[in-house]
Amino acid sequence: MTVTGAIWRDQLTADERATLGRADNVAGGARPDVLVVGGGILGVSTAFACANAGFGDVLLIETGRLGAGATGGATGLLIPEPHQWSDPEPLVDLERAGLERWRDLEAALPGGVGLVELDWLGLAPHAGGFAAHQPRDIQWLNPGQVAELIPGLARPMEGALIHRQARVNPLRAVARLAARLPAVATGVAATSVEVSGDRVVRVGTSAGGISPGAVVFATGSPPVLDGLQLRVPSDRVKGHLLVTEATDVRLPGIVAPLATQIENRQLLAGGTFDIGDETPAVQPDVIDAIAAGLATVLPSLRGIGVAYQWCCFRPRHPDRRPVIDRVPGLANAWLTSGHFRTGILNAPATAALLARWIAAGVPPAEARSWSATRFAGH
């Protein structure tokens, strides 16, 4: 039987599941030092970073449950190094900083955040398949070396091996961080903003008005709220994923573009880019194509059962880079959005940047790359 929904929730403990629905009482007229709107990985990480930066009173509100958006459907890969082939340098820097901070969190939090260290192996019919740019810390494997790591490939492949990448169950990471937040209110939506001069003086929510010292919008895509003048173009790109039934095929970590070895002898595959598909439903033909792709590369996977299938949407800006900025024209409101395909990876570094900015009042130098006003003319 195939479950339609992400595997991540089923891997959680009862306590972790309960944390995703944490619903502390929000007193009408609350005045937190920092209000974070949005309980995906960016919002939870930002609230955590602000609490650790010494803001005593940090409140996070989320309209559904924590991780209900893109976060809960992500693959959860933390792989900055392969992105050197695809992403601009400032983004790779952010991604690298993200993985380092995930490792810090894993070490610092009792019980960690569920980080799993693993290798990344990219397959290509020939080494030229990786283009001229040769990233650092790569070990090039000939077809014989690849076959030793992955016996039974349909045809000989060259490989690019990168050690010490990682992954998380994104919902576990959210739950572990959220359990340590001062205040979390799920089931509470921000609906409006009241501005006086250059300051947000009140955020209207489904639980009443909140008057924060500072507010961070981490709503995946830019927030659409009454009273908030914000023009940042964005769209979203759907992706499908599946988890196989248990198999004796064992992969040496993340094997691109094949699959990732996860717990219980299962494989996680997919991460399609279904441009133009705006429907929220899983498309069986896309799942079939992912499964067929597995068997094409590794014939022993032919006919493997699908245990979980799901889809979700990546929030994206036109240049595929995130926004991490103060809301233009406002002194005490910040925004992070459009983390597209690396939001889980980027989250702790983005959060640290925002916490520093809010505490100091001046933008850190690296914020320049992520401005909300760079889309003028779109």
Ligand X SMILES: Cc1cc2nc3c(=O)[nH]c(=O)nc-3n(C[C@H](O)[C@H](O)[C@H](O)COP(=O)(O)OP(=O)(O)OC[C@H]3O[C@@H](n4cnc5c(N)ncnc54)[C@H](O)[C@@H]3O)c2cc1C
Q: Which is nearer to ligand X, 326 or 339 (CB)?
A: 339
Query: Least separation, in Å, of the C-beta of 76 and ligand X?
Result: 5
User: Nearest 10 degrees: CA dihedral of 243, 245, 247, 253?
Assistant: 20
By beta-carbon proximity to ligand X, the closer residue of 39 and 159 is: 39
What are the two backbone dihedrals, phi and then psi, of residue 217, each rounded to the nearest 5 degrees?
Answer: -95, 115
Rg (CA), the chain: 21
Provide the 10 A C-beta neighbour count for residue 285.
7
- Sequence-ordered list of residues with C-beta below 8 angstroms from that of 330, at least 6 positions apart, any chain: 195, 198, 199, 200
Nearer to ligand X, 122 or 220 (CB): 220
- Tell me how far, at minimum, the Cβ of 116 lies from ligand X, in Å: 12
- Comparing CB distances to ligand X, the nearer of 153 and 240 is 240
Nearest approach, Cβ of 43 to ligand X (angstroms)? 5
Q: Quote the least distance from Cβ 179 to ligand X, whole Å.
A: 17
Cβ-proximal residues to 350 (8 Å cutoff; 6+ apart), any chain: 42, 45, 46, 94, 98, 322, 324, 336, 339
State which residue, 59 or 358, has the beta carbon closest to ligand X: 59
Which of residues 73 and 122 has its CB atom nearest to ligand X in the complex?
Answer: 73
∠ CA 116-52-348, nearest 5°, is: 40
Q: Distance between CA atoms of 374 and 367, rounded to whole angstroms?
A: 12
Helices (H), 77-138: 89-108
Residues that bind ligand X (CB under 6 A): 37-43, 61-64, 68-71, 73-77, 189-190, 218-220, 223, 239, 241, 271, 312-314, 339-345
Q: Which is nearer to ligand X, 159 or 220 (CB)?
A: 220
What's the min distance (Å) between Cβ of 58 and ligand X? 15
What distance in Å separates the CA atoms of residue 141 and residue 252, rounded to the nearest whole number?
14
* CB of residue 317 to ligand X, shortest distance in Å: 11
Helix, strand, or coil (residue 1): coil
Sign (positive or negative) of CA dihedral 133, 138, 144, 146 = negative
C-beta of residue 353 within 8 angstroms of C-beta of residue 326:
no
State the minimum distance, in angstroms, from the CB of residue 271 to ligand X. 5
Distance of closest approach, residue 232 Cβ to ligand X, in angstroms:
13
Is 244 or 342 the residue whose CB approaches ligand X more closely?
Answer: 342
Q: Which of 241, 239, 236 is nearest to 337 (CA)?
A: 236
